[in-house]
Amino acid sequence: MESALDYWSARALLEWQAELGATEALCDAPVDRYGLEQAVPRPKPGAAPVPPPKPKEADPADVAGKAARAAASLPALRDAMQGFSHCELKRGARNLVFSDGRPGARVMIIGEAPDRDEDLQGKPFAGRAGQLLDRMLEAIGLSRAESVYLTNVLPWRPPQNRDPLPAEIGMLTPFLARHVALAEPEILVLMGNISCQAVLGKRGITRLRGRWDQAWDKPVIPMFHPAYLLRQPQQKRLAWADLLELKARLAAVA
């Protein structure tokens, strides 16, 4: 069908509408949009409803890393760990076990996880293993109050003191790395396998103990855990050799 408008009239009308702000061309016939909605297929009665797509869960280690990097001081790091809700261990623990000793000390000792006494007191190495550790340190002229800083890989007690799971170690290690960076020790002492796993990425304390390694730009020495020495006192001889090694290193770089 031929248009009743000539070219110049049609063009003038179009320009007039554009001036009024029209940005879209509409169809000649109206569209019933309510009718269109009904045309969307509905699930058949009795058919299982299609669940909405799940939002992607954040990786706990990424969340921990972000929170840890944002912490500019040890108290801020403690708060960040207190606010971390991705680790199930937190629900069963009485306290967050953050640290003990002197922040800024030359030696930082990294233990495994809180036990009953540590969970109750909120301090690492508060029980029998801690008392033995204090005596070991004293033997080479160090003390918890003045010359060492202590923490653990895990800040919450695992149920029945079970070994930490690899997933727990993985998600909490970003906090540990930040803890070391903020405490700025010269030397790290790793007590037992779990600490070696978290810091060095390897296990086998019998082979690793007494040998200097490197992690997070610091010299690291693995040692037998004092709780192991309580069960295996004959190994104290080797622990003594490792303590002397630590003492010599401190003296060499004093």
Rule CB under 6 A: which residues touch ligand URA? 111-115, 118, 124-125, 129, 152, 191, 227
Give the nearer residue to ligand URA in terms of CB position, either 9 or 161: 161
Give the nearer residue to ligand URA in terms of CB position, either 23 or 160: 160
Dihedral, CA of residue 107, residue 108, residue 109 and residue 115, to nearest 10: 140
Give the nearer residue to ligand URA in terms of CB position, either 17 or 161: 161
Q: Dihedral of CA 94/96/102/108: which sign?
A: positive
The tokens for 56 are 């992607």
Give the residue from 217, 222, 71 showing the smallest Cα distance to 153. 222
Give the nearer residue to ligand URA in terms of CB position, either 11 or 116: 116
Task: Compute CA distances 241 → 142, 157, 245, whole Å.
Answer: 15, 30, 6
What's the min distance (Å) between Cβ of 143 and ligand URA?
Answer: 17
Give the nearer residue to ligand URA in terms of CB position, either 115 or 168: 115
Give the nearer residue to ligand URA in terms of CB position, either 77 or 191: 191
127 three-state secondary structure = coil
What's the min distance (Å) between Cβ of 204 and ligand URA?
Answer: 17
**φ, ψ (nearest 5 deg) of residue 106:** -70, -30
What's the min distance (Å) between Cβ of 57 and ligand URA?
Answer: 30
β-bridge pairing 100-101 and 148-152:
antiparallel
Q: Dihedral of CA 214/208/105/166: which sign?
A: positive
What's the min distance (Å) between Cβ of 150 and ligand URA?
Answer: 7
CB 247 within 8 A of CB 141: yes
What's the min distance (Å) between Cβ of 195 and ligand URA?
Answer: 7
Q: How long a stretch of residues is the chain?
A: 254
Q: Which residue is nearest to ligand URA (CB)?
A: 111
What's the min distance (Å) between Cβ of 154 and ligand URA?
Answer: 9
Strand residues in the chain grouped as ranges (E): 100-101, 107-111, 148-152, 187-191, 213-215, 218-223
Give the nearer residue to ligand URA in terms of CB position, either 117 or 186: 117
What's the min distance (Å) between Cβ of 209 and ligand URA?
Answer: 15
